[in-house]
Every structure is written in C-alpha cells, then in structure tokens.
Chain A
Amino acid sequence: MTDPIPTSVDQKPVATQRPPSGMSLHFNGVRHMIPVDARTTVLDALREHLQLTGTKKGCDHGQCGACTVHINGRRVLACLSLAVAHTDDDIRTIEGVTPSDGALHPVQEAFLACDALQCGFCTPGQIMSAIALLDEIKTEQGPAARLSSDEIRERMSGNICRCGAYPNIVAAVTRAMAGQDGAR
C-alpha cells in the first residue's frame, strides 16, 4: 500500500468548485494561473492552490509572522496580502530561497548551527524574516553593517516562536550577519 500522505509539492491542486476566473501570479520565478477569487490571500493561494505548504498559517491576522514571504524582496505577511494586489509582483517563499540541490541557504545554515528551532512551525517565517532583515541592514547601512543583539531582537519581534528559541534565533541572525560580508 502506498503511503496516503501525498508529498506537498508534487500534488496537483485539489478539485474544487472554481469561480469562473483566475489570476496570474509570479511565485519563486514561475508564473502560475490560479483559479482564485478576489478575497484569496497570497497565503491561501500558496497553500491551498499551489500546495506550497512551507509557508505556515499561524493566525491569519498578521500577528504571528509564520506566513512571512518576500514580495519584491521585502518581507511581507502573506496572510494580509490579497493575491489580486500582487499579480505583477515577484513573490518568493521558503521553497524559493532554499537551494534545490539539498543544501541550505546561509541563513538556514546559521539557524541549524545555533539550534534556533524546535517544532519548526514558525521556522520558515523566521528564515524569510531574517533573510530580509539582513538585506535591509545592508541597504540601510552598507555591507559591513552590524546590529546589536537588542536591535536584532527588535527587528525579529514580528515572528513568534512559541517554543521559545529566541536566544538561539538572535544568535543565529548574528552569525548569519557576520558571515555574509565575505568573511567566509
């Protein structure tokens, strides 16, 4: 008997009663026609229609950060973003930043090195938030920018980790920040 849990990415969209029209969205460098209505969020488009389930729904109200994705390079809460408002934008998810060869992104590596996760549910959002944060400080302060632990805490406070791995998350972001200016 085959395992009845299908892998998330290979699965075709579930048959649904579709509204007559859809929209075109640009996820992880690929354009998809998705049969969603105007109230569909980027998060539901990802999870329910493309089976890109790495992005998590923790609250659906922009309060927990688990659904953080990048839209045109900036970190955005997918649950508060209507898909119809982003048809011309570049939307990138945890699947899009993870190398396809089985390796990890340097920020993922830093989280692994610092044990900055436990149950893993908030982790994709933390990673997306941390990657964008590093880009933000580079843009604001140049490539050699360094944030204090307190500044990292503040800038990562949009992402709840109920397992309480915060000390290690702060350490991981610090490590990733140190590693990104070509030191290694």
Chain B
Amino acid sequence: MSERVFGAGLKPREDPALLRGERQYTADIALPGTVHMEFLRSEHGHATIRGIDVTEAQAMPGVLRIVTGADLEGHLMPLPCIWVPGGVESHFPPHPYGLPGAGTALATGRVRFIGEPVAAVVAETRAQAADAARAIRVDYEVLPAVITPEQALADGAPQLHDAVPGNLNARWTCGDADGTEAALAEAEVVVKLDLHNRRTINSPLEPRAAVGDYDPLTGEYTLYATTQSPHNHRFLLSALVLGIPFNKLRVVAPEIGGSFGTKGYLYPDMPLVLFLAKELGRPVKWQDSREGLMCSTVQGRDHRQYASIAGTRDGKITALKCTSYANLGAYPSTIGPGVATALMGRSITGTYDIEHAFCEVFATFTNTVPLGAQRGSGRAEATFLIERLVDRFAATIGMDPAEVRRRNMVRPEQQPFDNRMGWLYDSGDYGAALERALEMAGYADREAAKRAARARGKLLGVGISTFVAVCGVGPSPRIAKEGMLGGSWESANIRVHPTGEVTLTIGVTGTGQSHETTFAQIVAQEFGVAVDSVQVLHSDTTKAPYGQGTYGSRSYSVGGPAVQIAARQVTDKMRLAAAHMFGVDDSAVVFRDGSVLVEGDPEKTKTFQDMAMALWYGWDLPPGMEPAIDVTTTFDPADFNYPYGAHIAVVEVDEVTGDVELVRYIAVNDVGPVGNPLVVDGQIEGSIVHGVGQALMEVAQYDQTGALLTANLDRYAIPRAADVPFFELDRMETPTPHNPLGAKGAGEAATVPTAAAVTNAVCDALAEFGVQHIDMPLTAETVWRAMNAATTSRSEAQ
C-alpha cells in the first residue's frame, strides 16, 4: 500500500502565501472605482430617534450618499433570525415573511444598543465618509436602559420590542423537572452554586469587512465578505433581506482572519453595501474598526446560572438543576437564541451519568450588543457549571475531585449514552481520558508540588475539567427540531481532469483551519495520487457546491465525509471502467501509487492519468456509463458527534498580589481519527488559549447606560505570548459511528473545559482561605479580593 496521506501531519499548503502576506482578505480587495461606507453608530443604549439631520454631512467633500433607516423601507427587509429556542413559545421583532426578525439594517425609530448603526455614509474615501458620519445630527430622546436579564425581566422594566412582552424571548426548558425536584429534596447532600459566566468578545484579529458590487447589465450583485457561511448568507440575503432572485447574488468569502463564531451571522453592512453599490453604480467597501467590532460584532457567553447538585456522601451524584438567565443583547443575532438555549441547556450533565437533571433558560433581551457564538459556545458555559459543581460537591463531602469524577462518569459500555437532556453521546472512554490526564499531570504528587511552591511564596492549585461537547452540526431533521430554520448537510464536488489532476470543490468555508490541505489529503488517499495533484477550491458561491458553513466544529466532521463519499463514487466509476477495459471483475481493481491495476497481473495496469483520459474520451466504457468524471455529493450525518476529553490546569497564585500564573496545562482530547494531526493540534492549542483568556482576563463590561467600557484591546485583554506555557497534549482516537470518517469536531472542543480547569485550579490554590468560588475573569485584583474577603470573614468569625 502506498504511504498514507490521510492522517499525515502535512504542512498546510496555505502557509507559504500567508507567511508572505500574499493571501487576500476582504479588506485587501480594491475593485476599480471603489467608494467607501462608514456607519454612524448609536451613542445611546436605549433612545427614541426623533429626527436625523444629514444636511451638513451631505454637503461635505466627497460625500456621495447618506441613508438612514427610513430610506431603506421598501428596499431592505429586516434581517432574519434562523435559530429560535426549539419547542417552546418565543417572541421576536417582526419580519414581513412572518419569520423571526432580527432588527433592521439601520435603526428605525429607536436605538437599542450603543454601536447600533443609525446611518450609513458613502464617500470617495474612507476618511471623508467617517468625517461626514460625525457631522450627522441625530435628535435622541434617551430612554432608560436594561443591561442584565434580571433588570430586563423586572416588573415595570423598560420594554425593548413591541412584539416581545417583558423582554423575554423565551423560557426554554429541558429534562425532568419533577424528578429533579424530588431527588434534590431527598438527597443526602445538596450543594448550591450561583455564578455568572460573563460576557466575552471573540475579537478575531481581522475585523469584519464587506465589498458590494453590482452589474447593471446582468442585474447581478456580488458580495465579498468576512463570512463563514457564504452559501447560507446568499440565501438569507437574497430571499429574506434584499428580495432578489437567489441566482442574482454571488457571495465570495476571501481569506478570513479568524472568526471563532462571529462571522457566521448576517450583519447590517452586508445588505447595505449591495444596496448602495446598485444605487451608486460603483463598488462599495466597508471595513470595520476595532472599536466597531467590539460594539457590534456578536459577543459570547453571558449566562447567570443558579444551580444545585445533589448526591450521596459516598460520592454518587443523583440530581442536577440549573436556572439560567441568558443575555441575548438588544436583538436576536442570526442564531443567538438557539446557542443560548439548546447548546447550553442540553449539555449541563457533562461527562456524567446523572439520573435526574433539569435546566431552564430565560433568554432575555437587554440594551447590549447581540449575543452569538464564541468558540465552544453553550457547551463551554454548561461545562463550566457542571465542572465547578463537581468540585464543590467533592469539597463538601471531603472526597478527591478526581474520585468523584471517576464514580460518576459515563462508562464506555454505556455508549451510546442518552444524557436524558437530549444528547445521545456516541462513543469513547471518558474515564480513560481522565486517568491519562491525571498520570501526565503527576496528580498523585500534587501535595509535594504545593509544598514546594509555598516555599517560593506561591499557592499552587490543580484543577481538573472533563468535557463532552456536542459538535458537527447535523442532521437536518434533528436541528429543525432544535429550532433551526435551515439544513445542516455539506457537499463536495470532484472533477478528475483528462490529464489526471484533480479539482475538489467543497461547500464549506474555512476561517483559518487549513481546509485546502486536509481535504486534499482525503482525496489523495482514496485515489492513491500525490496530494499536490489535488487542487481545493471553495468559498465562491458561483463556483462551489452548496454548503452550510463552518460552525459548531462541522467542517471536517460533516464536510469531510462528503469529500470521502464523492471520492469513493469517483473510484467506483473508474474501477468499473478499468474492469471493463481489463476484462476482469471490478472487485479485482485497486488504486495504488497513481495506478489503477489488477493485483498480480502486471499486464493489467493503467495510470490514474490514463484512466482519467479514457473516461474523458469515452471511447471504450461499459454500456450505459457516462463519460468524464464530475461528481457532486452531499452528506447529512446520522447524528451529532461528541468529542470529549480531560484537561488539567496547574496554576500558581502569588500569595501577596493574587496574580495567577498558568504554569502547566495538560489536555487529553478525543476528536476521533484525525486527517491531519498538525492541523488538529493547532486547533486544540488555540482552543485552550481561548479558554485561558476567558478564565484569566477576558470580560466585556457595560455601564448602566449600555456603554461598553472594554471597547478596545487595551481595555479588553486577550492572551498574549507571555500568558501561556507550552501545553502537554495527548490524543485518543475513538471513531464516531455517525460519519464514515469517524471524525468528531476538533475546532472548538478544547475550549469547552479550559475555563473550568483553570478556575478549579485557582479555587484549589485558594482552598485554605475558604474560597469556594470566584467568577471569571480571575485577574489579580479579583483573586486578591477573594483571598482577603475570605481571610477577613474568617478572622471576624474568630
């Protein structure tokens, strides 16, 4: 057999051009004649717009067009929301098609968050557009704002949307309410924990951008945009926002500079650059600023959770209950309400077999930036909750937290395991991952490590977090039940050219995960050809087969199988053609080292290229076979997939300053068989860094007017090189039965447990002070205050 390409850690083929700065991101596009759009954004969290005066701005140099919300009526429909809380009554702003609405592209009548676009200015240069935007006079009547769900749900609270009584999008529930209450009432031990998994900002380094172009001869629009879902956005924009035929809109996603969930949403700029390009007859370009990104691109997390865990004194967990208040922001983002409900609520039992569990989520509108996905979305919030609760339960009954986990984890023989909350876990040995991580961490020797650190003035803590994360969004009928208005399949097209080279065109779009490399490896393996002969195209809706986009760690685990199935359809056809030419049964034909041959019969060998040419000419094919090779397939998985693992953080807390240093991080992950371990390990490392950021430094802070106080990268800290050590990684590879590659999501799974592992470690370090819980981020100040509050209250008690 030829050397395995699949599973090899090939260097990403994208890298040389990226290293040279030559790949083109949206902001790098400069179409001839381009003009520039800038927004005037709301400066109030909640206000009525009494009037907008553009007179002065309109007269400024270079200004071509200014539009406000009123100008768009009859031209642009409101944006839609396509993931609603499944199975429960929910309330949304309106959309003319009766769908859930997500607000208009420019504010109409009222603004509901600081940063909401109020007017768009197009000018010859970006500076002119920005100057003119500042000269627009808006007459606001300021209204009281609500910032937290508790404020929004209070009696007499200011109301954001006429169609949403009480600011409540939905009360969503899952699990066994009565059984859980009964189990809590009967339990030997009940531990309560209230926590705030605070608002975060994804902050991909590339701000969003969009370029709109319109061809008056054909009536065709083209959108170049930072979108991780070009096909889906083509559908939503053409049919539900612009009201134009689907085939009059082309969407292209150029190189994308990271997303982590933020670029899968419809944003006001996308329809606006198209509308204005047609109006003005010139390409319209919009580039967000960092401040604009911070106050308008979807934010993450933000659940206030009130939870109880119950169990026996010998460590068996018997019940879990969570009431969560999710802060959706001012408008539902494209998929925000689904993220905040199902992805969180169904995931709260983690890796554990808990007989009675119940979760309710109050999804609430407030005067803050709309909520969306952040790497690990929903599952990270759920995992943080359960893994903190398990540690608190262990401390309460005086048992080693590793032992409590051992006694409650789902065992491999229980797979597939119904977690009783709606997820059917697929495969794997959760306990083995934990044991491996404990061994790598030297967990048994932790007391000696603590003593050694103490001698240096450091409080050493060790924190465990296990996880299982629903990933690989699909199958379509299932996500329909979860409230998503859309399909979740992926597709692939393979053309084998007459000269034997191959072009693979995939439906899925990457945001920096080296798709062009990994997907080529699948095809090269199936065909037995050199990986370099497989070209990979994507992300242009006029050239690529349909796809739903990269989100929920689904590119490889849903798009990958589509590629493999297409490749096997190609080899099936070529095998039949070769068998016909060789005069043998097709089962005798194999693909190896660039040849199509019959084992043990050297006469019966053709190169892959010869076969490609033979199919191209079509002179001698089996009866009924069509010439040429051009295959398109779609793949909709049998069910979600469930990567899992166990992580251990080791921190040292400075006993004087409270400063936390992450000194070791051990992570054992099972994302199934991997196509390219180099790429997957990169995803895992990046995911860990993301989780460390939330644990130690990241938080979006608002004041009571709705002003975002952390609107730049000085005020909103994200990890830098000095904040993370080298990681200690190991992988297990248990296939999922739900796709032919056995692949599980790898892009975000490792973010899911990280914040809990780090927080558990810090709380372990501070256990001697009586600290039971600290809400993230665990900055030096927060930790110092927690240490001192605990010390003070103890000394007062004495």
Contacts and interface: CB of A to CB of B under 8 A. Distances in A.
A56 B18 contact: no
Interface in B492-550: 511-514
Interface stretch (B591-599, B686-694, B788-796): B686-694
Contacts of A167: 685, 724-727
B62 A118 contact: no
B257 A119 contact: yes
A7 B32 CA distance: 12
A34 interface: no
A164 B258 CA distance: 10
Interface stretch (B199-207, B408-416, B554-562, B764-772): B199-207
A121 B721 contact: no
B307 to A, nearest CB: 29
A15 interface: yes
A96 to B, nearest CB: 10
Contact of A120 (B33, B257, B289, B688): B257
B258 A119 contact: yes
Contacts of B712: 59, 61, 63
A169 to B, nearest CB: 6
B724 to A, nearest CB: 5
Contacts of A58: 205-207, 290
A59 B715 CA distance: 13
A56 B257 contact: yes
Contacts of B258: 118-119, 121, 162-163
A84 interface: no
Given A63-B290, A118-B512, A157-B721, A94 B20 contact: yes
A121 B206 contact: yes
A168 B725 CA distance: 11
B721 A153 contact: yes
Given A56-B25, A60-B290, A168-B685, A16 B722 contact: no
B22 interface: yes
B687 A59 contact: no
B713 A63 contact: yes
Contacts of A70: none
A166 B689 contact: yes
Given A8-B24, A59-B290, A163 B61 contact: no
Contacts of A14: 30, 32-34
B10 to A, nearest CB: 10
Contact of A121 (B14, B25, B61): B25
Contacts of B11: 112-113, 115
Interface in B269-325: 287, 289-290
Interface residues of B, number: 73
A80 to B, nearest CB: 13
B722 A153 contact: yes
B21 interface: yes
B270 to A, nearest CB: 18
A118 B718 contact: no
Interface in A35-57: 39, 47-48, 51, 53-57
Contacts of B723: 166
A154 to B, nearest CB: 5
B222 interface: yes
A127 to B, nearest CB: 7
A25 interface: no
Contact of B27 (A57, A61, A154): A57
Contacts of A20: none
Contacts of B14: 120
B19 A4 contact: no
Given A6-B31, A94-B21, A121-B258, A165 B207 contact: no
Nearest to B715: A63
A56 B24 CA distance: 11
Interface in B685-717: 685-690, 712-714
B213 interface: yes
A54 B20 contact: yes
Contacts of B128: 17
B331 interface: no
A141 interface: no
Contacts of A108: 16, 19-20
A160 B689 contact: no
A29 B26 CA distance: 28
A57 B714 CA distance: 16
Interface in A45-90: 47-48, 51, 53-61, 63-64, 66
Determine chain B's interface SS by DSSP, over half rule: loop
A158 B687 CA distance: 20
Interface string A155-179: 0111111111111111000000000
Nearest to B686: A164
B674 to A, nearest CB: 14
A60 B289 contact: yes
A15 B16 CA distance: 32
B255 A120 contact: yes
A180 interface: no
A119 B512 contact: yes
A8 B254 CA distance: 13
A104 B724 contact: no
Interface in A1-28: 4-8, 11, 14-17
A165 B453 CA distance: 28
Nearest to A8: B28
A136 to B, nearest CB: 16
Contacts of B287: 57
B205 A164 contact: no
A104 to B, nearest CB: 6
A137 interface: no
B125 interface: yes
B11 to A, nearest CB: 6
Interface string B183-208: 00000000000000000000111110
A50 B766 CA distance: 55
Interface in B719-772: 719-727
Contact of A55 (B21, B222, B726): B21
A162 B724 contact: no
Given A98-B20, A117-B19, A161 B205 contact: yes
B690 to A, nearest CB: 6
Given A48-B126, A58-B205, A104-B16, A165 B682 contact: yes
Contact of A53 (B24, B224, B690): B24
A94 B19 CA distance: 9
Given A14-B33, A57-B27, A166 B255 contact: no
Interface string A132-149: 000000000000000001
Contacts of A16: 124-125
A63 B21 contact: no
Contacts of B27: 47, 53, 57
15 contacts: A11-B30, A17-B128, A54-B20, A56-B21, A63-B714, A115-B11, A115-B682, A119-B204, A154-B721, A160-B205, A162-B203, A163-B686, A164-B685, A164-B686, A166-B721
Interface of B: 11-12, 14-16, 18-25, 27-34, 61-62, 124-128, 203-207, 213, 222, 224, 252, 254-258, 260, 287, 289-290, 511-514, 678, 681-683, 685-690, 712-714, 718-727
Q: Which 5 A-B pairs give the minimum distances between C-beta atoms? A: A54-B21, A119-B512, A164-B689, A121-B257, A120-B18
Interface of A: 4-8, 11, 14-17, 39, 47-48, 51, 53-61, 63-64, 66, 93-95, 98, 104, 108, 111-113, 115, 117-124, 127, 149-150, 152-154, 156-170
Given A60-B289, A166-B723, A168-B685, 17 more contacts: A6-B31, A16-B124, A48-B126, A57-B207, A60-B290, A94-B20, A98-B20, A115-B15, A118-B686, A120-B23, A121-B204, A123-B19, A157-B722, A160-B205, A166-B721, A167-B725, A167-B726
